[in-house]
């Protein structure tokens, strides 16, 4: 594996990255209230008195949010803590109605785990998971609605989040990207978070430091709330370069919170805003310890969907396809399902080639999605069957496929309407071969004097004469026979 390093004038630097991902839990209601957790909504309509921090209001935990966190923990091959507890993180902020966030500090619900990532060059690497804990989201302040005022909408306040913290195992922007993509894929497979970074349902705090190879860790900076995978990758690079410059100019990197500005491609300090944070965590007295039953965890585990890594391995084994192709097919669960429906009882390799080839191309071209595909899985299956039972050959199949995409017709109908059935009648084939050889006596002579390459020419001519419908194997055989 080519390791990622940055060159400074004092030599080579290594980048060390750890990610804290906030993933919004898929649930109907909020973590501690019965108000809607749905995205959007008219201002302050998805809000209960609890979410708005009214006097005397008390939190009651949503069982589904707990289950989602456990499912995610299991998906990350992590330890599930049967004892966990909520703490209050105290700070004042416009969109934090209670003046504290209910989070899990000392005793998170999920402990250490790992995520397998694959890099461009095929290298496999494991990124450690430190912990996953449950916490509340904050509300939203908007600053552009009024010349001198900010306005606050509490619809997000109290929505359940999973904060997934990685070990500082990431060593390049590419690894950071691969980790986030993989994490998002797992969350989507599990149905615990939709991974939609534009709507903010997945955001990352990026911890970056640099060091000379072999050194201990140096001071890190945290870049808050980066909301796209591409920006995370850019932010890692920009922040690493900045830190190298600081160190190399004799300065010292100070631990601080920074912000990534995508328009400038650089990070800047948020220190001005951050007057001496002291969160004064302490156990949330309105909630008791969260105690899980091992049996309940086991039940959730038994009900877990097949995850991408397992599915990929099974596809290779069951359908005899390449590791690479399997990786492409399992990237999205819906694609994997499409493929598997198609491949069941058919040639898995043929199915994989069609899905990753013509089908994906058609999807891109038409702008359609796997949920609303350019051809249905039944239609594509029928096409594959026509190829396999030699009704049509591969070349004709491509033509049929294009017409399927265009007209939505079933392949048998297209084949019948256009008389595209492949000719397997050896008499007809022999006749066509005889005619081609008779029309090209000089080429036949050249072939016989040793110019083997001309064999393909004769096959091509025969197929042309038969409007592409000749069975390729039979045509080959007939040409060979007649050439002697």
Partner 1 sequence: MSIFDLSIAAAAKALKAKEFSAVELTTAYNEAVAALNPRLNAYITVTPELALEQARAADSRIADGSATPLTGIPLAMKDLFCTESVRTTAGSSILEPFIPPYESTVSAKLKAAGAVMLGKANLDEFAMGSSNTTSHYGAVENPWKRLGSDAKLVPGGSSGGSAAAVAARIALAATGTDTGGSIRQPASFTGLAGIKPTYGRCSRWGVVAFASSLDQPGPMARNVEDNALLLNAMAGFDQKDSTSANREVPDFCLALGRGVKGLKIGIPREYRLEGTNPEILALWDKGIEWLKAQGADIVNISLPHTKYGLPVYYIVAPAEASSNLARYDGVRFGKRVDGEDLIDLYERTRAEGFGPEVKRRIMIGTYVLSHGYYDAYYLKAQKVRNLILRDFTDAFGSVDAILTPTAPSAAFGLDEKMDDPVTMYLNDVFTVPASLAGVPAMSVPAGLSAEGLPLGLQVIGRHFDEETVFAVSAAIESAAGFSALPELRAK
Partner 2 sequence: MSLDAATVRRIAKLARIRVNDEEVSTLQNELNAILGYVEQLSDVNVEGVEPLSGGAQMALRQREDNLTDGGMADKILANAPDRIGNFFAVPKVVE
Applying CB under 8 A, the site for partner 2 has a residue count of 52
- Binding residue for partner 2 (CB under 8 A) from 39, 49, 324, 360? 49
Partner touching 372 among partner 2, Zn ion, partner 1, none, CB below 5 to 8 Å by kind: none
Task: Give me the least distance between CB of 100 and partner 2, in Å please.
Answer: 12
- Binding residue for partner 1 (CB under 8 A) from 28, 63, 268, 280? 280
Task: Give me the least distance between CB of 26 and partner 1, in Å please.
Answer: 23
Rounded Cα–Cα distance for residues 133 and 162 (Å)? 6
By CB under 8 A, is residue 278 in contact with partner 1? yes
- Binding residue for Zn ion (CB under 5 A) from 14, 51, 137, 163? 163
- Is there a contact between 297 and 70 (Cβ–Cβ < 8 Å)? yes
By CB under 8 A, is residue 64 in contact with partner 2? yes
By CB under 5 A, is residue 403 in contact with Zn ion? no
Which span sits near partner 2 by CB under 8 A: 6-14, 285-293, 370-378, 448-456? 285-293
Rounded Cα–Cα distance for residues 463 and 294 (Å)? 67
Measured from the CB atom, is 67 or 244 closer to partner 1? 67
The number of residues making up the chain comes to: 484
Partner touching 220 among Zn ion, partner 1, Mg ion, none, CB below 5 to 8 Å by kind: none
By CB under 8 A, is residue 287 in contact with partner 2? yes
- Binding residue for partner 2 (CB under 8 A) from 1, 58, 142, 445? 142
Task: Give me the least distance between CB of 25 and Mg ion, in Å please.
Answer: 17
Angle between helices 394-407 and 377-388 (to 10 degrees): 160
By CB under 5 A, is residue 325 in contact with Zn ion? no
Rounded Cα–Cα distance for residues 333 and 83 (Å)? 32
Neighbours of 224 (CB within 10 A): 16
Three-state DSSP state, 71: helix
Least Cα distance to 297 among 456, 111, 451 occurs for 111
Task: Give me the least distance between CB of 207 and Mg ion, in Å please.
Answer: 9
By CB under 8 A, is residue 147 in contact with partner 1? no
Measured from the CB atom, is 51 or 403 closer to partner 1? 51
- Binding residue for partner 2 (CB under 8 A) from 17, 19, 23, 35? 35
Neighbours of 439 (CB within 10 A): 11
Question: What is the pairing mode between strands 257-261 and 221-226?
Answer: parallel
- In the chain, the N- to C-terminal Cα span, in Å, equals 53
Question: What is the pairing mode between strands 282-283 and 266-269?
Answer: unpaired
Q: In sequence order, what DSSP letters do the residues of 156-197 get, joined into one string? A: TTT-EEEEEEE-S-B-SHHHHHHHHHHHHHHHHHHTS----T
By CB under 8 A, is residue 83 in contact with partner 1? no
How far is CA 330 from each of CA 312, 315, 324, 441, rounded to the nearest angstrom? 6, 9, 10, 54
- Binding residue for partner 2 (CB under 8 A) from 80, 96, 132, 290? 290
Measured from the CB atom, is 9 or 146 closer to partner 2? 146
Residues near Zn ion, by CB under 5 A: 163
Residues near partner 2, by CB under 8 A: 27-29, 33-36, 42-50, 52, 60-66, 92, 94, 141-143, 145-154, 273, 275-276, 278, 280, 282-283, 285, 287-291
């Amino acid at each position: 594996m080519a390791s990622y390093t940055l060159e400074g004038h004092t030599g080579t630097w290594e980048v060390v990255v750890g990610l804290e991902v906030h993933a919004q839990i898929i649930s109907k209601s909020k973590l501690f209230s019965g108000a809607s957790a749905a995205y959007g909504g008219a201002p302050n309509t998805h809000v209960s008195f609890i979410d708005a921090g009214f006097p005397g209001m008390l939190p009651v935990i949503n069982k589904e949010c707990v289950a989602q966190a456990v499912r995610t923990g299991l998906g990350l091959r992590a330890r599930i803590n049967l004892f966990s507890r909520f703490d209050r993180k105290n700070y004042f902020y416009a969109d934090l109605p209670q003046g504290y966030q209910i989070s899990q500090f000392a005793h998170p619900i999920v402990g250490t785990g790992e995520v397998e990532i694959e890099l461009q060059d095929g290298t496999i690497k494991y990124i450690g998971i430190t912990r996953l804990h449950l916490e509340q989201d904050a509300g939203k302040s908007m600053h552009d609605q009024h010349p001198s005022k900010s306005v606050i909408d509490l619809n997000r306040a109290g929505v359940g989040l999973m904060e997934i913290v990685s070990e500082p195992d990431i060593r390049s922007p590419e690894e950071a990207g691969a980790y986030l993509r993989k994490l998002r894929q797992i969350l989507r497979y599990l149905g615990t978070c939709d991974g939609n970074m534009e709507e903010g349902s997945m955001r990352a705090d990026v911890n970056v430091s640099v060091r000379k190879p072999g050194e201990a860790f140096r001071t890190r900076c945290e870049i808050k709330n980066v909301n796209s995978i591409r920006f995370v990758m850019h932010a890692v690079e920009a922040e690493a370069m900045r830190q190298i410059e600081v160190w190399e100019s004799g300065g010292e990197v100070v631990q601080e919170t920074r912000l990534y500005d995508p328009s400038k491609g650089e990070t800047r300090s948020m220190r001005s805003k951050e007057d001496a944070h002291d969160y004064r965590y302490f156990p949330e007295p309105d909630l008791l310890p969260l105690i899980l039953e091992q049996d309940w965890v086991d039940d959730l585990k038994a009900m877990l969907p097949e995850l991408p890594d397992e599915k990929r391995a099974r596809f290779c084994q069951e359908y005899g396809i390449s590791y690479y192709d399997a990786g492409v097919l399992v990237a999205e669960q819906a694609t994997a399902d499409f493929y598997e429906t198609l491949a069941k009882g058919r040639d898995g390799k043929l199915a994989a080639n069609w899905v990753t080839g013509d089908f994906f191309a058609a999807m891109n071209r038409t702008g359609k999605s796997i949920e609303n595909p350019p051809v249905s899985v039944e239609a594509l299956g029928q096409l594959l069957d026509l190829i396999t039972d030699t009704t049509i050959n591969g070349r004709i199949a491509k033509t049929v496929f294009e017409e399927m995409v265009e007209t939505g017709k079933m392949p048998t109908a297209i084949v019948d309407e256009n008389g595209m059935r492949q000719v397997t009648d050896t008499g007809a084939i022999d006749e066509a071969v005889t005619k081609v050889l008779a029309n090209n006596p000089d080429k036949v002579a050249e072939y016989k004097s040793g110019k083997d390459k001309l064999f393909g020419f004769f096959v091509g001519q025969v197929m042309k004469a038969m409007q592409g419908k000749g069975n390729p194997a039979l045509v080959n055989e007939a040409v060979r026979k007649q050439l002697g």
